[in-house]
Amino acid sequence: MPFQSDGRRVAAGTIDANGSPSGSDGLPRLRASFFATDPATIRLERGDRTVTMWLVGAAGDGKYEAQNVDLVHQGNTLQMNWLDTNTGKTDQLQCQAR
């Protein structure tokens, strides 16, 4: 299925996440933007890295994938595995929308 983007961002926000670079208040941060595309996409920013993730499988499952990152979106919660290619370590992040 080809990536179809009309550029419509449907939601964006800052997410508190364990194991992620901290904001000025010391809490770990991710920035997520959700796009109404076919298939649905999420753009994540973590520190100096940005990834675009695509929905895989049924929309109700909330599973997204990108290179070195996989994610499950359920309500206001994101659970993800993010491979640090510098260390070879996979960070398991439990995230909550602010």
pTM: 0.73
Q: Two tokens at 55?
A: 């929905």
Phi, psi (degrees; rounded to nearest 5) at 52? -110, 125
State residue 23's pLDDT score. 52
Q: Two tokens at 71?
A: 């994610």
Q: What percent of the chain has pLDDT over 70?
A: 68
Name residue 98's amino acid. R
Give 9-97's CATH code, choosing from 3.20.20.150, 3.40.50.1820, 2.40.128.200, 1.10.10.60: 2.40.128.200
In 10 A of CB 22, how many CB atoms?
10
Does 76 or 25 have the greater pLDDT score? Answer: 76
Q: What is the mean pLDDT of residues 68-92?
A: 87
Domain ranges (residues) in the chain: 9-97
